Amino acid sequence: MLYVIGLGPGKEELMSREALEAIADCEIIVGYSTYMRLIRDLVKDKEHVATGMRQEIDRCQKAIDLALETGKNVGVVSSGDAGVYGMAGLILELLGDNSELEVKVVPGITASLGAAAVMGAPLMNDFCHISLSDLMTPMSVIEKRLHAAAQGDFVICLYNPRSKGRPDHLSKALSIISQYKSEDTIVGIGKDIGRKEEEYILTTIKDLDESLVDMTTIVIIGNKETYVKNGRMITPRGYTL
Amino acid sequence: MLYVIGLGPGKEELMSREALEAIADCEIIVGYSTYMRLIRDLVKDKEHVATGMRQEIDRCQKAIDLALETGKNVGVVSSGDAGVYGMAGLILELLGDNSELEVKVVPGITASLGAAAVMGAPLMNDFCHISLSDLMTPMSVIEKRLHAAAQGDFVICLYNPRSKGRPDHLSKALSIISQYKSEDTIVGIGKDIGRKEEEYILTTIKDLDESLVDMTTIVIIGNKETYVKNGRMITPRGYTL
């Protein structure tokens, strides 16, 4: 059995029992080294294969090979939900027509949901996820989606909003979004959600301080009804109160 | 303390430890009767207030009043994630400026993530959530979002896709989506995800049998690259393999 396991935002309390049991059921755990550290107590008695960033294909192929060659249960761990910009798709793609190996995807709480709970309730109406990383999706497609999402007044969760290699993607995204949404639209910035250093900042499109945003950050841009009350970000569901 | 707790798709294995601990920490549990049944073993020694469908405002106001009046810990339970079309927003809206009561939102695995894991990996690229219920969002806004999401080639997760009172919302939505997406686009239908009767069907926009879809169903419509292999629905992340 090959498990692809979503670890949730970071702390063990936000993992599901299914994820904990899947890890317990594995003899070999494969993952990006940062995530392995998050669960080191859970995997300390197991064989583990930790690889660095941007080695996703090698990592997933290795996991498949190990499972097929050894017949042992192997787990590939991903932060958040393994099926959201995670490893689940790559495993199934690499497996192709091979049906010898059973793959079980164990879902997790993805970053947007973890951050939203801390911020209040920004995702109470229609929302979307857009990754600003153009490593695998052309920037033209990302831009088209930013236009579409802002035009539809979706609440927009931005994954991979800004990194050293892509310092200007967030400002580009905000300038597209501002063509449709008011510059006073509420924006929530979640940092290190589910970890000890967890914090969030509520601001607006026009006041957003980009230097607060990096790869450990999730950015949630409200819809036109989103507001802040008592320090929480709230998108109304539409009840008449 | 007032907890707003996401129960995940249905089975206890997919709840987080934080959710289990929050329930354990409450003396009073408030929820829609169907969800209360899902967790009856966890709440059997507690006072509980179960209300029917469409009584969300009463239910949330009751939970706030109970927490303020008794000083006891009260938990409001919601299926999936309490912050996604759930009770978290309503609680914070009703609370308004009252900062006497501490509210903690405990996130959960929302229906789309639970269904995606069972189907394979349909959410590996940008995706959005649209509820087809027009009880609280005007149909014109829903239609605008369907146009935008399809035009941006998002993977689209449809919540509340079809009910007795809204038998034609799904077909309306599909006819809008078909203006931009091919009729051969892969569609996953997840039924009773996370429960004993869990099943999924993979089909296409043109072959979708609407009679399979009801309020216990989540519908995931792929993007133009989504395909089926070995019975699993896969949206490529974009790796060159």
A6: nearest CA partner in chain B: B117
Residue extents of the structural domains in chain B = 2-109, 112-234
CATH topology of domain B112-234: 3.30.950
Per-residue model confidence as pLDDT tens digits over B182-240: 999 999 999 999 888 999 999 999 999 999 999 889 999 999 999 999 999 999 999 98
pLDDT by residue (tens digit) across A90-123? 999 999 888 889 999 999 999 999 999 999 999 9
Q: How confident is the model at residue B53 (pLDDT cuts 50, 70, 90)?
A: low
* Cross-chain Cβ contact A113/B235 below 8 Å: no
Q: Please name which of A53, A11, A16 lies closest in space to residue A192, comparing C-alpha atoms.
A: A11
Task: Let me know: does A86 contact A134? Beta carbons within 8 Å.
Answer: no
What span, in angstroms and rounded, lies between the C-alpha atoms of B87 and B23?
16
DSSP codes joined into one string, B139-207: HHHHHHHHHHHHHTT-EEEEES--BTTBTTHHHHHHHHHTTTS-TT-EEEEEESTTSTT-EEEEEETTT
pLDDT tens digit sequence for B132-173: 999 999 999 999 999 999 999 999 999 999 988 889 999 999
Under CATH, what is the fold of the domain B2-109?
Cobalt-precorrin-4 Transmethylase; domain 1 (3.40.1010)
Rounded to an integer, the average pLDDT of B88-113 is 94
Q: How crowded is residue A89: how many other Cβ atoms within 10 Å of its Cβ?
A: 30
Instruction: For residue A145, give the nearest of B6, B130, B152 by CB distance.
Output: B152
> Interface pTM (ipTM) of the complex?
0.96
A110·B113 Cβ contact <8 A:
yes
Condensed to tens digits (0 to 9), the pLDDT of residues B149-160 reads 999 999 999 999
pLDDT on residue A177 = 98
Residues 61-120 of A with CB under 8 A from B: 81-86, 88-99, 103, 105-110, 113-114, 116-118, 120
Q: Is A117 helix (H, G, I), strand (E, B) or coil?
A: helix
Alpha-carbon Rg for chain B in angstroms: 19
The per-residue pLDDT for B108 is 97
Contact A107 B99 (CB under 8 A): no
Q: Burial level of A37, CB count in 10 A (0-12/13-18/19+)? A: exposed
| A213-234 per-position pLDDT tens digit | 998 899 999 999 999 999 999 9
CB-CB: which of B124, B145, B238 is closest to A152? B145
Reply yes or no on whether the pLDDT at B179 is more than 90.
yes
C-alpha–C-alpha distance, residues A117 and A143, integer Å: 28
Residue partners of A28: CB distance under 8 A and separation at least 6: A46, A47, A48, A49, A63, A66, A67, A70, A72, A73, A74, A75
Query: Which candidate, B158, B219, B157, B211, places its Cα nearest to that of B188?
Result: B219
Cβ neighbours for B221, distance < 8 A, ≥ 6 positions apart: B155, B156, B157, B158, B177, B181, B185, B186, B187, B205
What does the pLDDT read at residue B38? 80
Dihedral pair phi/psi, residue A190, rounded to 5°: -105, 130
| Position A14, amino acid | L
Longest C-alpha distance within chain A, in Å? 61
Does residue A53 carry a pLDDT above 80?
no
Mean pLDDT of chain A: 94
pLDDT at B241 over 90: no
Q: What secondary structure letter does DSSP report for A192? A: S
